[in-house]
Amino acid sequence: MVAVKQPTTDVSRGELVTAEAALARAASILFSDPGLCAEQVREILSLIPEYPPALLLLASAYRLSGDPMAALHLLEPLTKKHAESINMHFEYGLALAAVGRSGEAITCFRRTVELNPDHAQAWRLLGDYLLAMGDQVAADASYVRHVSASSKDPLLLQAANAMWRDDLPAAERLLKQRLMQTPTDIPAIRMLAEVAMRLGREQDAEHLLERCLQLAPDFTAARFNYAVVLHRRDRSAEAIRELEQLLQSDPRNPSFRNLLAVALSRIGEYSRSREVYAELLREYPANSKVWLSYGHVLKTLGQQGECIDAYRRSIEYQPAFGEAYWSLANLKTFRFSKADLATMQAQLLNTALTADDRVQLHFALGKAYEDQANYAQSFEHYAQGNNLSSDSSDYSAHQTTQRVMRLKHILTRDLFMLRSDAGCRAPDPIFIVGMPRAGSTLLEQILSSHSQIEGTSELPVMISLAKELRSEAGKTEIAAYAEVLASRSAAELQELGERYLEQARIYRKTDRPFFIDKMPNNFIHIGLIQLVLPNAKIIDARRHPLGCCFSNLKQYYARGQNFSYSLENLARYYRDYVELMAHFENVLPPGRIHRVFYERTVTETEPVVREVLAYCGLEFDPQCLRFYESQRPVRTASSEQVRRPISSEGTEQWLHYEQWLEPLKRELGAVLERYPDVPEF
């Protein structure tokens, strides 16, 4: 490390030693009390003016006290004068970042690592700010250098190189080897957690990072990784707490703020999320991914014009960004221009296009040609998008069928009768279950217009509880949790129900007595719902098999719903859904589940609404028929449609594509022939 030059004033050796000792004492309280640190440094400077180490420490104290402009006033001339000082350039970069001058901060961090290639913190911050600027490739390279610079241990360097090559098994082997020898090696623990995250083993990563932070509470990189894992595990409220702690010491960090905005959106804090994104975009206006995320929040809040502008800005900065085009299409009410069509078609000829961009461009073009009534071209693009998605998916229709069979075998009438006095008796939740794209968003919008019912979103809580039970089973089968569930005592089932309510509370924003959880995939978990929340309401939102399946076929899902990318898999999944619902209706008390048909909802709205409210034990509220006036946030693909008066248009869209749906019809079989009745299974 290059030291700053000593003072040029006439200072005796004794005075210098005294000043160095005083400076060390001041530096020791820099982080705990930067104001007092600054006061002590100013006293030193009154005796030895222009003493560079003191000026540098004073700049740090000003920055940490919340006055980065004062720090910049000191650092700008200092850095020019001491051009070879690593610490000067690094602190100057921190101060520039603190006032939003990110481009200049990047220059300082680059200069820092030029002078000291092993400056781990500078590499990390360089990665953070490059990522915020939208330079993913350079950011990734900086993060790798950060890992390498964090330790000069040969074995950890080998592990870092293996991670760079994406040879995760080799990296895992090396890191476990190190931890067998040295269980408290903090960098090794964090690196192993990162390997676990990249392998999709979030629970392992969480435990490793908890251990890491137990040993080193101030380890910033580990705490940020921990926040990422918590968010991925649908514990966004906890992730927010970790991020807010990180932001106390680094309030301008773009990575921390970006994840904060994402997590806030996940728990329904859309207005605050919007503010964080807007602030980021003022500082990093060329980041296409942040523009996209900002657009998603604006869409949820019903600000369609601003949302479209945000998606357009995303495309402006990344012309091949398939997700931005699909996001425009996914508004459902948006119409592409001829120029948009030409641009999307041209992008498909781009050999450098990523697989994800290609898939989403196909889905967007499918919607664009559908809006032009060019159904042959439309279906061709939908088919190509689905084929590409299916090729990259490991979905097994057979496994889903086996899961249904297993649930039917374990979750029997006898079990429910034996546990009839179990569970949490709270009546608060109203579960809307069924197939995706079956009208659940419309039903939620109608019900949440009632003065006693709050709409939330598709809550991940019940699925998380099922995952916990499955992990206790020690088996990999998805339905393995059912055996664990069946073995639970009445008190344990009550605790699970109370835990659901506690974890769902973070998504609630009003004091209305009832709330809706419209996660459609919860139909798999009706047995769990019955045992832990026996007084909760369960509504099955059902739609014509061809209309529902085709609507799924033309929908690109950001994650999950992997059954939706093939006509055959869609038909089998719909059949399995109908069969499992028939089982639960057979083994649960009569009337326990209330079914609502989409086609009848859009043609006989008031009678349907009265029936649903009666099932929920509520009086009719006329506001439910004016659901489109609601200002509540809506996250799903139907968000713009449910902000308009009801229309039966969606019930007939599949008819334009009927000539291509023969595989779907064949596989649906009796489920299609008997609809709306249910065949025997």
Tell me what pLDDT residue 10 has: 54
Residues 6+ apart with CB under 8 A from 39: none
Residues 6+ apart with CB under 8 A from 271: 301
pLDDT tens, 368-405? 999 999 999 999 999 999 999 988 888 999 999 999 99
CB 439 within 8 A of CB 507: no
Q: When comparing pLDDT for 55 and 147, which is higher?
A: 55
Tell me what pLDDT residue 3 has: 45
- CA pair distance 270, 293, nearest whole angstrom: 11
DSSP states of 86-128: HHHHHHHHHHHHHTT-HHHHHHHHHHHHHH-TT-HHHHHHHHH
Tell me what pLDDT residue 471 has: 84
- CA pair distance 469, 475, nearest whole angstrom: 10
Say if residue 8's pLDDT is above 70. no
Residues 6+ apart with CB under 8 A from 314: 288, 289, 291, 292, 295, 321, 324, 327
Q: What is the 3-state secondary structure (H, E, C) of 530-584?
A: HHHCCCCEEEEEECCHHHHHHHHHCCCCCCCCHHHHCHHHHHHHHHHHHHHHHHH
Confidence band of 5 (pLDDT split at 50, 70, 90): very low
**Of 512, 508, 528, 540, whose CA–CA distance to 432 is shortest?**
540
Tell me what pLDDT residue 642 has: 56
CB 224 within 8 A of CB 250: no
Residues 6+ apart with CB under 8 A from 52: 4, 5, 6, 7, 78, 81, 82, 85
pLDDT tens, 642-664? 556 676 666 788 999 999 999 99
CB 551 within 8 A of CB 434: no
Residues 6+ apart with CB under 8 A from 655: none
Tell me what pLDDT residue 650 has: 67
The mean of the pLDDT values for the chain is: 90
**How far is CA 80 from each of CA 53, 74, 123, 127, rounded to the nearest angstrom?**
15, 11, 22, 24
Say if residue 598's pLDDT is above 80. yes
How many other CB atoms are there within 10 angstroms of residue 237's CB atom? 18
Tell me what pLDDT residue 640 has: 57
- CA pair distance 392, 349, nearest whole angstrom: 21
Q: Which residue has 């705490």 as its token pair?
A: 223
Tell me what pLDDT residue 647 has: 67
Q: How large is the average pLDDT for residues 339-361?
A: 94
pLDDT tens, 305-347? 999 999 999 999 999 999 999 999 999 889 999 999 999 999 9
Q: What is the 3-state secondary structure (H, E, C) of 491-528?
A: HHHHHHHHHHHHHHHHHCCCCCCEEEECCHHHHHHHHH
Q: How large is the average pLDDT for residues 581-609?
A: 96
CB 578 within 8 A of CB 403: no
CB 422 within 8 A of CB 498: no
Confidence band of 1 (pLDDT split at 50, 70, 90): very low
Confidence band of 158 (pLDDT split at 50, 70, 90): confident
Q: What is the dihedral of CA 341, 347, 353, 356, to 10 degrees?
A: 0
Residues 6+ apart with CB under 8 A from 324: 288, 291, 292, 295, 311, 314, 315, 318
Q: How large is the average pLDDT for residues 607-625?
A: 95
Q: Which residue has 């960098």 as its token pair?
A: 187
pLDDT tens, 222-245? 999 999 999 999 899 999 999 999
- CA pair distance 379, 382, nearest whole angstrom: 5
pLDDT tens, 159-201? 888 888 889 999 999 999 889 888 888 888 999 999 999 998 9
Tell me what pLDDT residue 392 has: 84
**How far is CA 353 from each of CA 288, 303, 359, rounded to the nearest angstrom?**
16, 30, 10
Confidence band of 151 (pLDDT split at 50, 70, 90): low
Tell me what pLDDT residue 14 has: 63
CB 625 within 8 A of CB 605: yes
Cross-sheet strand order for the sheet of 453-457: 453-457, 514-517, 429-434, 537-542, 593-597
Q: Is the pTM of this model over 0.75?
A: yes
Residues 6+ apart with CB under 8 A from 382: 362, 363, 366, 553, 554
**Of 591, 82, 83, 556, whose CA–CA distance to 363 is shortest?**
556
pLDDT tens, 526-584? 999 999 999 999 999 999 999 999 999 999 998 889 999 999 999 999 999 999 999 99
Domains of the chain in sequence order: 13-182 (1.25.40.10), 335-392 (no CATH), 397-674 (3.40.50.300)
Task: Specify whether the backbone of 584 is left (phi greater than 0), alpha (psi in -120 to 50) or beta.
Answer: alpha
Tell me what pLDDT residue 15 has: 66
